[in-house]
């Protein structure tokens, strides 16, 4: 983007491809009926917040603001998740988890550049769009959890992406129509396929499965691992170098995520 694909056109491809794959998997392997009368409105809201509005806002925001600003704003996602979880589904968060979220957030900000970022008027609309995306996606992580106790992750994802596709078409269909796919080189096709299959279909499948097993706060906290993995991949591709500071910041992030995921063992009662 934007040399071969416009952002909103790319989103139509992402949501549409994932919707087809999830629907096929649902029809072939799951075949679970959905109570549309009771849950259709909830599924529509999941579609808008989970794979519609959040993607549109994120791509639009990144096109206006800086990558560092965008990454730091996305690092606020677990904080919003904790707030929504406490109010919407009464998910109890211990003091240790709140401390873990704060530690991981601090590590992510340090790893992403410390104080080398500015929120100025030139980037303000992009910053607002990315922040709204973080809030909306946090809401989805919490709101979808009760549905994932009722339906299989593949079933819910099939409906979510199917409805989400209808939502994003008005925004990106024109961009997709004006895309000349014949000039896209094989290397770029490889990137596109990786994003459609790996970064969308498989990622959302694993995310939905995680939400069905773990707390929303725990799932949300793992976003702090993204800058760590990005740096490790960059080092492997010789586009970045490791340093003592980066290792220290990574350890801070891992410590925070550990605290968020930590569950104390229950002590069995002693029979007298």
Report, as an integer, the average pLDDT of 110-115.
63
Structure confidence at residue 258 (pLDDT): 78
Domain boundaries defined on the chain: 7-93+118-215
DSSP string, 30-42: I-----HHHHHHH
Structure confidence at residue 116 (pLDDT): 57
Higher confidence at residue 243 or residue 265? 243
By percentage, how much of the chain surpasses pLDDT 70?
A: 86
Q: In the structure, what pLDDT confidence band is assigned to residue 13 with cuts at 50, 70 and 90?
A: very high
Preceding peptide of 182 cis, ω within 30°: no
Structure letter (DSSP) for residue 26? I
Of the candidates 92, 201, 195, 89, the one whose C-alpha atom is nearest the C-alpha of residue 141 is 89
Structure confidence at residue 24 (pLDDT): 97
Express the helix, strand and coil content of the chain in percent, nearest 5 each.
80, 0, 20
Higher confidence at residue 165 or residue 258? 165
Structure confidence at residue 111 (pLDDT): 67
Q: Which of 101-115, 168-182, 239-253 has the highest mean pLDDT?
A: 168-182
pLDDT digits (tens, 9 = 90+) for 122-178: 677 887 888 889 889 889 989 998 999 999 999 999 999 999 999 999 999 999 999
Q: What is the pTM of this model?
A: 0.78
Q: In the structure, what pLDDT confidence band is assigned to residue 268 with cuts at 50, 70 and 90?
A: low
Structure confidence at residue 247 (pLDDT): 78
Please state, rounded to an integer, the average pLDDT across all residues of the chain: 84
pLDDT digits (tens, 9 = 90+) for 92-105: 778 887 888 888 77
pLDDT digits (tens, 9 = 90+) for 34-72: 999 999 999 999 999 999 999 999 888 877 876 666 666
User: Is residue 269 pLDDT above 60, yes or no?
Assistant: no
CB of 89 within 8 A of CB of 145? Answer: yes
User: Rounded to 5 degrees, what angle do the CA atoms 157, 159, 165 make?
Assistant: 95
The position carrying tokens 């409805």 is: 163
Structure confidence at residue 265 (pLDDT): 60
Structure confidence at residue 263 (pLDDT): 66
Structure confidence at residue 249 (pLDDT): 77
CB of 34 within 8 A of CB of 46? Answer: no
Q: Is 202 left (phi over 0), alpha (psi -120 to 50) or beta?
A: alpha
């Amino acid at each position: 983007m934007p040399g071969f694909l416009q952002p909103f056109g790319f989103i139509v491809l992402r949501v549409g491809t994932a919707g087809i794959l999830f629907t096929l998997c649902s029809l072939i392997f799951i075949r679970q009926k959905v109570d549309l009368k009771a849950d259709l409105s909830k599924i529509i809201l999941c579609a808008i917040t989970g794979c519609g509005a959040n993607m549109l806002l994120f791509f639009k925001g990144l096109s206006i603001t800086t990558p560092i600003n965008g990454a730091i704003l996305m690092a606020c996602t677990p904080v919003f998740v904790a707030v929504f979880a406490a109010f919407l589904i009464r998910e109890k968060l211990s003091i240790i988890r709140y401390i873990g979220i704060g530690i991981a957030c601090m590590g992510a900000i340090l790893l992403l550049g410390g104080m080398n970022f500015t929120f100025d008027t030139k980037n303000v609309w992009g910053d607002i769009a990315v922040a709204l995306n973080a809030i909306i996606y946090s809401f989805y992580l919490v709101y979808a959890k009760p549905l994932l106790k009722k339906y299989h992750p593949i079933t819910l994802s099939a409906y979510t992406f199917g409805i989400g596709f209808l939502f994003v078409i008005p925004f990106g269909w024109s961009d997709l129509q004006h895309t000349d796919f014949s000039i896209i080189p094989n290397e770029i096709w490889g990137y596109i396929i990786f994003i459609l299959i790996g970064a969308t279909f498989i990622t959302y499948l694993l995310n939905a499965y995680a939400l069905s097993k773990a707390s929303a706060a725990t799932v949300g906290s793992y976003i702090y691992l993204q800058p760590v993995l990005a740096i490790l991949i960059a080092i492997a591709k010789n586009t970045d170098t490791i340093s003592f500071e980066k290792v220290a910041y990574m350890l801070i992030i891992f410590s925070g995520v550990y605290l968020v995921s930590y569950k104390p063992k229950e002590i069995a009662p002693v029979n007298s």
